[in-house]
Amino acid sequence: MSGPNILIALFESGSFEETDEHEALNAVKASGILASSDIQGAREQKNKHQIKV
């Protein structure tokens, strides 16, 4: 995603230690069709490498 009128910012915590505050940044609010179990399942599958077990 790029172009003359698009700005992208990437923020990192700068630490490998995860806290509840860091984990809160992963929260996603979804409504309507985006809240469906199929879409949420696909999102979890795509991002499973980031999910703590």
| pLDDT (tens digit per residue) in 3-49 | 678 888 877 766 777 788 877 877 777 888 888 889 888 888 887 77
Residue 19 phi, psi dihedral angles, 5° rounding: -120, 175
pLDDT at 31: 84
Largest Cα span, the chain: 41
Helix (H, G, I), strand (E, B) or coil at 5: coil
pLDDT of residue 1: 56
